[in-house]
């Protein structure tokens, strides 16, 4: 079977924008342009663009190991990296917007938990909901810890301040508990996002195509002639389960409709039978009255005849 080529134009367009930003910051660095704060930190911005481009190659590296991802997941991953390095680092959203870090970590951890839940659903679908919930939260927390380790390593290599252990304005290092605040709050947001996603997927009924089908990470054997390109192509077992659930719901709906019609028909027949019985009773009562009148008339005539004699 011939495999379709995977052209993710949105992903490539974002990569092209990153390359353009990298060239711009390199030019401003050598031209010594310092018109704004962004251009005064061209060296750090160059590093941020390089980090984004290196991380953008991760889906292609994973594909070499037969780990495939949906186009939606690839675009989301690259946008998350850009939000962190470009918006947070280059444009200083982490420094100027105090809630920005909370939103980023909460959103990312929710979607990471979504990806993990999809993987667990494929391989551990016979497990209890509580097990799936705890495992998805645990894996999400692990990813958050690994990311903080990555930030620590990048700060050590580039002299950055991704973990916010220094004052972003004065450059003075924080002391004691304040130096750990950013890292610990990030980890708490990661765990909270995992908990929210776990509750959403494990303890609620999801209608339609679940979110984790669009953010799927899947291992495909090298000798398998399967093209894993479309976001909306579900796993065969899951698709079968979805179809069975739809068929069950349709059957249940048809059964309820039939019961409703039967109840209406029964009520109609009951009313007709009741009306018929009432009419028959009225006719019997009328007939009895007529017979009583006739009997009274006969008795009266008999009495009148006896008196005349």
Domain-located, residue 271: yes
- DSSP letter at 212? G
pLDDT recorded at residue 192: 93
Domain-located, residue 82: no
Domain-located, residue 266: yes
When mean pLDDT is compared across 22-36, 128-142, 264-278, 279-293, the lowest value belongs to 22-36
Task: Please choose, from the candidates 26, 15, 66, the residue with its C-alpha nearest in 3D space to the C-alpha of residue 218.
Answer: 66
Domain-located, residue 137: no
Task: With residue 144 as reference, give the H or E element that holds it.
Answer: helix 129-158
Domain-located, residue 276: yes
Residue 57 exposed, middle or buried by CB count within 10 Å (0-12, 13-18, 19+): exposed
Domain-located, residue 309: yes
When mean pLDDT is compared across 92-96, 128-132, 149-153, 166-170, the lowest value belongs to 166-170
Ranked by mean pLDDT, which of 7-11, 176-180, 252-256 comes out on top?
252-256
Domain-located, residue 216: no
Domain containing 271: what range?
A: 238-309
Give how many domains the chain has, as a whole number. Answer: 1
Segment 220-223 long-range contacts (CB within 8 Å, at least 24 positions apart): 220/66, 220/67, 220/68, 221/66, 222/66
On the question of pLDDT at 12 being above 50, the answer is: yes
Domain-located, residue 254: yes
pLDDT recorded at residue 308: 67
When mean pLDDT is compared across 15-29, 55-69, 233-247, the lowest value belongs to 233-247
When mean pLDDT is compared across 55-64, 232-241, 288-297, the lowest value belongs to 232-241
| 137 token code pair | 């939260």
């Amino acid at each position: 079977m011939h495999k379709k080529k995977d052209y993710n134009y949105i992903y490539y367009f974002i990569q092209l924008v990153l390359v353009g930003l990298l060239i711009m910051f390199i030019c401003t660095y050598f031209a010594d342009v310092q018109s704004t704060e962004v251009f005064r930190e061209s060296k750090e911005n160059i590093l941020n663009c390089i980090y984004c481009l290196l991380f953008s190659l991760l889906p292609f590296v994973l594909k070499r190991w037969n780990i495939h991802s949906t186009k939606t997941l690839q675009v989301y991953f690259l946008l998350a990296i850009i939000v962190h390095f470009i918006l947070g680092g280059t444009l200083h959203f982490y420094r100027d917007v105090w809630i920005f870090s909370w939103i980023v970590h909460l959103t990312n951890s929710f979607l990471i938990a979504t990806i993990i839940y999809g993987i667990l659903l494929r391989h551990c679908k016979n497990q209890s909901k509580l097990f799936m919930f705890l495992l998805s939260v645990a894996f999400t927390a692990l990813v958050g810890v690994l990311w903080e380790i990555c930030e620590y390593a990048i700060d050590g290599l580039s002299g950055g301040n991704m973990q916010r252990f220094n004052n972003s304005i004065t450059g003075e290092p924080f002391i004691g508990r304040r130096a750990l605040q950013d890292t610990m709050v990030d980890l708490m947001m990661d765990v909270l996002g995992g908990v929210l996603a776990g509750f959403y997927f494990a303890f609620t009924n999801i209608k339609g195509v679940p979110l984790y089908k669009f953010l799927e990470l899947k291992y495909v054997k090298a000798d398998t002639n399967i093209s894993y390109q479309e976001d909306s192509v579900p796993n065969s077992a899951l698709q079968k389960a979805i179809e069975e659930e739809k068929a069950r719901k349709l059957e249940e709906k048809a059964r309820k409709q039939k019961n409703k019609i039967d109840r209406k028909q029964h009520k109609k027949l009951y009313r007709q039978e009741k009306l018929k019985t009432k009419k028959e009773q009225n006719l019997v009562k009328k007939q009895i009255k007529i017979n009583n009148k006739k009997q009274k008339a006969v008795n009266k005539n008999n009495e009148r005849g006896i008196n005349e004699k």
